[in-house]
Chain A
Amino acid sequence: MKIVQAKDITQKVAQLCVEINTKLADDIDSTLKKEERQEPYPLARNILSVINENRNLAINARRPICQDTGMVVAFVKYGQEIMIKDGGIEQAIQEGVRQAYCQGYMRKSVVKDPLLRNENTQDNTPAIVHYQIVPGEVLQISVMAKGFGSENTSALKMLKPADGVEGVKHFVLDTIRKGAPNACAPIIAGIGIGGDFEKAALLAKEALFIPLDQHHKKPHLRALEKELLRKVNEMGIGPMGMGGQTTMLGIHVLDYPTHIAGLPVAVNICCYVDRRGTVVF
């Protein structure tokens, strides 16, 4: 049995929320710099250089890259041999988000009621927290600050088995073609295939945590990722939708067994500011 103090969870989550908003993950950072060097179209290269200049300013000022500091989503792997002292895990995470956004001068972007929209929660809570119980003494919290310009362009569709891989490609490419110009391209895409309605969406979100240089273990899904990346970057949408080669930095597929009658597919689109990080206790 391993003991973790609730206040340590709060402190680490708060630290992570500020850090991911201020500094791009290394894999995204290096990919953006590489794309600036490789982009052939002058206007697109210019936009990528502005993006990289803003990245430097944000790091130096220790301030958020983007004013949309997101809604926080957390995926928790909660080991059965973990005991949390002096508080509950959910409250500890929410308190970490509250402290980060209030003390870190970040934008509070959460309204209490999705239809009335007349009251901001004032501290960017609640975060959306997903738990997975796992064996052992591990406690891992992955945090994403998800911007909604890109979230709004995401989509889910219940395909038929007969639609097959071609149906999946068509839906993914169509969603990205429509969404990328409004989603602050160059985008990153998470694709969930299989499971059921909500499982596909969860997989798509989880896929946005995968480092850009990592690819699916299954050869046919690795090939699918590669083909989708190539096809999106052949669309010519470019950074901010103004034309160019650099439309998508990476795409990851996560899959799950599904029902004989179904083929759920979810496409979660993220802007290039894919704010993600993980803390392990």
Chain B
Amino acid sequence: MKKIISTPLSDEMIASLSCGDQVLISGTIYTARDAAHKRLLEDLNQNKRLPFDIKNQIVFYMGPCPAAPGEVIGPAGPTTSHRMDKYTPKLLSLGLKGMIGKGNRSLEVIESMKKYYDVYFACVGGTGTLCAKHILHSEVIAYSDLGTEAIRKIEVEDFPVFVAIDAKGNNIYESGPEKFRKYLATQNN
């Protein structure tokens, strides 16, 4: 069964999400990948205000293809999350509640997620065209000189993800292979 949530995220919502759940997200989310993360942290270090209020928001690690005529956005799937690990604990400490990407996270990130009660979603990598179908609106709101890496505010509808790491630190990249083996064992009995 798929769980349906909308942004911004609340602690109650996050409490209802467990590792492995399929979730459909609707509402506003923000995109940022390598270069935008670097700049967000530079802004913070210089005591500048962040270009958007990250409190209770979701950041999607994504840099889209340009929109072809008639498109809201070009193909728009997730990029590998661990490249953002270095920057993530700081953003979580400031109130960021959710992340969407793909692949495992560092121990530091998972510890911060437990501390601040956050959730990490994974989207199926390589499915850019499918992801773009769930994006209703897209607008560059910061760092436009970064091109595909600029920060975009996007409206999503029923955006399909899995809970990869929940707020208790349960991690599908750790437990997934083991669960699969147990499943096989029950099937073979």
Contact = CB atoms under 8 A, between A and B. Distances in A.
The finding on whether chains A and B are genuine partners in a shared complex, rather than unrelated, reads yes
A117 B65 CA distance: 19
A63 B74 contact: yes
Contacts of A41: 180, 183-184
A238 B177 CA distance: 7
B62 to A, nearest CB: 7
Contacts of B75: 58, 63-67, 107
B127 interface: yes
A135 to B, nearest CB: 39
A53 B130 contact: yes
Q: Chain A at the B interface: mostly helix, strand, loop or mixed?
A: loop
B184 A40 contact: yes
A152 B67 CA distance: 27
Indicate the size class of the contact surface on chain B: 35 or more
Given A63-B74, A105-B65, A242 B129 contact: no
A58 B177 contact: no
Indicate the size class of the contact surface on chain A: 35 or more
Contact of B102 (A58, A120, A182, A245): A182
A133 interface: no
Interface in B30-48: 35
A67 B63 contact: yes
A244 interface: yes
A262 interface: no
Given A67-B75, A182-B102, A54 B127 contact: yes
Contacts of A42: 183
A141 B178 CA distance: 44
